[in-house]
Amino acid sequence: MLGNFIYYNPTKLYFGTEVDKNLKDALENYGKKVLLVYGGGSIKSNGIYDTVIKALKETGKEVVELSGVMPNPTLEKLNEGILLARNEDVDLILAVGGGSTIDYSKGVAAGAFFDGDAWTNFWLQQKEPAPDQKIIPVGSVLTLAGTGSEMNGGSVITDEKNKLKVGKVFGERLIPKFSVLNPEYTFSLPQNQMVAGIYDIMSHIMEQYFSGDDDSTSDYISEGLMRSLIASSRVAVKDPKNYEARSNIMWIATWALNTLIGKGKKQDWMVHMIAHTIGAFTHATHGMALSAISAAYYRFILKYGEHRFARFARVVWEIPSEGKTDSQLASEGIDALENWIKEIGAASDIEVLGVTDNMLEEIAATTFLGGGYKEITKEDIVAILKDSLKRNKNNL
């Protein structure tokens, strides 16, 4: 393991089907007024809303509701929530939903008692709340496995007007205090949302894995998580109500991005940066934007990290290595990734997301730059986008 680091995560996880009991246990530790945050209302049709309300009432909570949180939550919606939470002076924000709802709730918690423009301060300038600023605690009931937002400080908000989708990873004060994880709550998701979540998980792991060539314990953990995810995904796409597969996927999602596997490592989040910008232009589902750009991105940087990509092929995809160079193995590993993307039904090129040739320069110009094995330029992003855009045409 390289470098010096501290690992601390304050989230208490309740895993399994005893949601009513677990949620009541979690709620006992917080004040009377709760801001209940959720999305388009599917939690009302599938019974989750009734279970949550029952727990809130039985623990004596006063409930203020904030619905309508959309995928890729917007700056306008964020400001609405900040104003409501401040005016109501709530004691807890309870997010019921997937990553967008939980991300959004952290943003509201950070901004409610900030004296200024929360968007500029926290997202554009990437600042942390001042030590003396009041932060509303956040809890979650997870209904979609993918982002890991239930156990991290991430919050992604979209400025629709300026086509900016920006992530802020807050410190420990904004990490959920508790999260209730019932795999059965993911059963009612449409297939495409389940698949998008699965690929989001895979991308989180790869973006921490593809850096360095040292003998890092974090990489061995990552390989195990990826192997488990691939196996469970193949069961889940055929049998979406298979509890074992869905419970594995939910648990992997949490550990993929609670910062554990990134410790001691330089990380490469360029796939996420490009996908965020694609989402800002097209409103594409986040996991699908990731899957559409991944193969093109990793082929672009392949030669700069051949040894690690060859290991990925051998260990994760179990590709025989006898008689092959690292370069050959590395390429076969990316082929295996792309084949799996297609197998589970995720997007394999950006054209299906609505990206056109005339968007490429602007997408590149508004993407935050970084890299791992190679520092990426705007020109590199255009080349990667072009490769993904033409991939569908080449495969017809």
pLDDT for position 163: 87
Tens-digit pLDDT profile for residues 305-351: 999 999 999 999 999 999 999 999 999 999 999 999 999 999 999 99
83 phi/psi in degrees, rounded to 5: -65, -40
Tens-digit pLDDT profile for residues 246-300: 999 999 999 999 999 999 888 999 999 999 999 989 989 999 999 999 999 999 9
Q: What is the mean predicted confidence (pLDDT) over 57-83?
A: 96
Single-letter code of the amino acid located at 208: Q
Tens-digit pLDDT profile for residues 222-236: 999 999 999 999 999
According to DSSP, the β-strands at 138-142 and 164-169 are unpaired
Question: CB–CB of 395/296 below 8 Å?
Answer: no
pLDDT for position 396: 42
pLDDT for position 393: 56
pLDDT for position 41: 79
Mean of the per-residue pLDDT values for the chain?
Answer: 95
Q: What is the mean predicted confidence (pLDDT) over 208-220?
A: 93
pLDDT for position 92: 98
H helices present in the chain, as ranges: 19-27, 42-45, 48-58, 75-88, 99-111, 118, 191-209, 217-238, 243-256, 270-282, 286-301, 306-311, 326-344, 360-365, 378-394
Confidence of residue 390 (pLDDT cuts 50, 70, 90): confident
DSSP assignment string, 180-243: EE-GGGGTTS-HHHHHHHHHHHHHHHHHHHSS--S--HHHHHHHHHHHHHHHHHHHHHH-TT-H
* Lowest pLDDT segment from 154-163, 239-248, 337-346: 154-163
Tens-digit pLDDT profile for residues 116-153: 999 999 999 999 999 999 999 999 999 999 999 999 99
Q: Starting at the edge strand that comes first in sequence, how are the strands of the sheet with 62-66 ordered?
A: 12-15, 178-181, 138-142, 92-97, 33-37, 62-66
Confidence of residue 2 (pLDDT cuts 50, 70, 90): confident
pLDDT for position 91: 98
Confidence of residue 357 (pLDDT cuts 50, 70, 90): very high
Residue 392: pLDDT above 70?
no
Q: Which residue has the tokens 């049709």?
A: 45
The angle subtended at Cα 168 by Cα 56 and Cα 94, nearest 5°, is 0
pLDDT-above-70 percentage for the chain: 98
Which residues have a Cβ under 8 Å from the Cβ of 326 and sit 6 or more positions away?
306, 307, 309, 310
Q: What is the mean predicted confidence (pLDDT) over 36-40?
A: 94
Question: CB–CB of 280/165 below 8 Å?
Answer: yes
Residue 185: pLDDT above 90?
yes
Instruction: Give the three-state DSSP class for 324.
Output: coil
Distance from C-alpha of 150 to C-alpha of 98, rounded to nearest angstrom: 9
